[in-house]
Structure 1
Amino acid sequence: MTEQRVTIAFEDHVANVRLARPDKLNALDPAMFTALIGAIAQLGAMPGLRAVVLSGVGRGFCAGLDMASMASGGSGIDLAARTHGLANDFQQVAWGWRTLKVPVIAAVHGVTFGGGLQIASGADVRIAAPDTRLSAMEMKWGIVPDMAGFALWRGNVRDDVLRELVYTAREFDAEEAQALGFVTRIAADPHAQAIALAKAIAGRNPDAVRAAKRLANQESDSAGILIAESVEQAALLRSPNQIEAVMANMQKRAPAFTD
């Protein structure tokens, strides 16, 4: 990883991913963008991966863009280029978590502003510390959220509420974030809770979990979702891991799944 902006520890099928620029509240400079894109690619190719925990080192999750480094023309990112499927490089650091095959749990604390909020929003589940401060802060700098925020917030946050928060760049706390749909739940130690959740997910049939994420990511109409559901289920029924799930339950033992 570039200058160790992001670290990855892998144990028991769970990747513990941490933004590691604590002296700058994990603000996003060009090196951080490169490191996050590289981390997502590494995770996508990691054998045996079943869940990811995403968090930040230090006093906050991510303060958003490092305006000094970006204002100096350091990004070098072509906004029009679709470099990662649907996304450009800016969007990939948030959208990429959604497109990973396995569930991602974000543990946030302290400042979670702008791009940091969008990165956390790419996770399947977000657990926040009580002291978390959040904001869709881009309007403060005269710009719009452009790291996949609108695509990721759709369905979680009511439209009029989202418009108010984007138009004003107003800061809000963890309790309000949970009520509005930005945060799944609040915990005194969000990282510990995220690790526990990731381990619980890793203990389930990995084929079924990946299938469930594909279904959750479906953006087609009801007819398309119903067909996709049937296709996924047909592939799972009587597969080795599905049989193992049934046998482990019947025999009251821990399952032994294969990836």
Structure 2
Amino acid sequence: MTETPVLMTRDGPVVRLTLNRPQRRNAMNAAMGDALDAALDALAADRESRVVVLSGAGGHFCAGLDLSEVGSQASEAERRAAAERRNHRTGQRFARLSALPQVVIAAIEGAAHAGGLGWVCSADIAIATADARFCAPEVRRGLVPAQILPWLLRRMGRSAATRMVLRADVIDAAEAARIGLVHQVVPDAAALAAAVDAILADLRQGAPMALAETKGLIAALGALAPEGYAEAGARAFARCAAGEEAREGIAAFQQKRPPAWAV
């Protein structure tokens, strides 16, 4: 059966985007990236919908990049070029989600790791269940958090983001709320659905054009990152992804053992 990596449904002015690779905790592969690009194209041109609710299937939000695709090319040059393209396109998707005229709500259960944090932070409003877990584990895999870093800094500030990406440990939903990574924590999936409904009810009180213009004004207050950062980040990610540390870090993660540098 062909996998449908992103489900897109409409209910009046509300569009629901569901990351749909539950067997991989909704990790992002090339097919999911292409599907997200198509969904973002449609939403950017959509003047009927007012809200986008982004979630993950199967009890998890998004575990980040599917590491089985990293380093799958034959030569180091091919690995580096593929990693740079992939990383840069991922960053563009976060920017495009943030720039949508619709209000974007991230509804988070389970794992929100690595690139999954980019979706959390590029959404306008983020709500998590109490069992949600957040992590920027890139340095433990021999990689760098290139494209998520500006979003983390914007959401929770430089100090908290620095601690998160350097320590690379898992934090729970309560801690995520304390540092400003998410706006609200609710007990379970049923409470999450109710909280989203409450936000939708509030947003319906706002005029569509006024909401979209307000988002535009927020964006106009300042650039997310210095000019050229996305390209520099993609190059840094590619250098790491093509190197020995990434090969060891990813192998250790897949084999559920400590990497050589941690022994």
Do Structure 1 and Structure 2 share a fold, with TM-score over 0.5?
yes
Q: Note if contact 1:3-1:31 (Cα within 8 Å) is conserved in structure 2.
A: no
Alpha-carbon distance change, 122 to 191 in structure 1, aligned in 2, over 3 angstroms: farther
Q: Deviations over 1:82-132 (max 9, x none)?
A: xxxxx9311123222111112100000101100111112110010000000
| Aligned position for 1:197 | 199
| Aligned position for 1:242 | none
Question: How many angstroms does 1:156 deviate by?
Answer: 2.5
Q: Note if contact 2:27-2:63 (Cα within 8 Å) is conserved in structure 1.
A: yes
Which piece of structure 1 moves more, 201-210 or 153-162? 153-162
1: CA distance between counterparts of 2:90 and 2:16? 22
- 2:35 maps to 1:35: yes
- 2:121 maps to 1:116: no
Alpha-carbon distance change, 215 to 47 in structure 1, aligned in 2, over 3 angstroms: closer
| Aligned position for 1:128 | 128
Question: How many angstroms does 1:160 deviate by?
Answer: 2.0
1: CA distance between counterparts of 2:32 and 2:71? 15
| Aligned position for 1:139 | 139
Superposed structure 1 runs of 4+ greater than 4 Å apart: 74-78
Which piece of structure 1 moves more, 63-72 or 120-129? 63-72
Q: Note if contact 1:105-1:198 (Cα within 8 Å) is conserved in structure 2.
A: no
Q: Deviations over 1:36-57 (max 9, x none)?
A: 1221111112230111100001
Alpha-carbon distance change, 17 to 196 in structure 1, aligned in 2, over 3 angstroms: farther
Could you tell me which runs of 5 or more consecutive residues in structure 1 were left unpaired when the two chains were aligned. Answer: 82-86, 222-259
Question: How many angstroms does 1:69 deviate by?
Answer: 2.3
| Aligned position for 2:158 | 159
Q: Which secondary structure state, in structure 1, belongs to the residue aligned with residue 145 of structure 2?
A: coil
| Aligned position for 2:105 | 105
TM-score (normalised: structure 1): 0.76
Q: Which secondary structure state, in structure 1, belongs to the residue aligned with residue 106 of structure 2?
A: strand
Question: How many angstroms does 1:30 deviate by?
Answer: 1.1
Letter in 2 for 1:186: V
1: CA distance between counterparts of 2:104 and 2:155? 16
Question: How many angstroms does 1:195 deviate by?
Answer: 3.8
Question: How many angstroms does 1:5 deviate by?
Answer: 0.5
- Compare relative contact order (CA 8 Å, sep 6+) and give the higher one, 1 or 2: 2
Letter in 2 for 1:196: A
| Aligned position for 1:228 | none
Identity over aligned residues, as a percent? 30
Question: How many angstroms does 1:170 deviate by?
Answer: 1.1
2: CA distance between counterparts of 1:77 and 1:120? 25
Q: How does 1:6-85 map to 2 (within 5 A)?
A: 6-73=6-73, 77=82, 79=84
2: CA distance between counterparts of 1:175 and 1:53? 22
2: CA distance between counterparts of 1:29 and 1:59? 19
| Aligned position for 1:186 | 185
Alpha-carbon distance change, 43 to 3 in structure 1, aligned in 2, over 3 angstroms: farther
2: CA distance between counterparts of 1:219 and 1:204? 21
1: CA distance between counterparts of 2:46 and 2:98? 16
Q: Note if contact 2:153-2:161 (Cα within 8 Å) is conserved in structure 1.
A: no
2: CA distance between counterparts of 1:187 and 1:177? 12
Letter in 1 for 2:106: A
CA RMSD, Structure 1 to Structure 2 (Å) = 2.4
Q: Which secondary structure state, in structure 1, belongs to the residue aligned with residue 93 of structure 2?
A: helix
Alpha-carbon distance change, 79 to 198 in structure 1, aligned in 2, over 3 angstroms: farther
2: CA distance between counterparts of 1:36 and 1:60? 17
Computing the radius of gyration over CA atoms, which structure comes out larger, 1 or 2?
1
Letter in 1 for 2:185: I
Question: How many angstroms does 1:168 deviate by?
Answer: 1.7
- 2:94 maps to 1:89: no
1: CA distance between counterparts of 2:17 and 2:94? 14
Q: Which secondary structure state, in structure 2, belongs to the residue aligned with residue 181 of structure 1?
A: coil
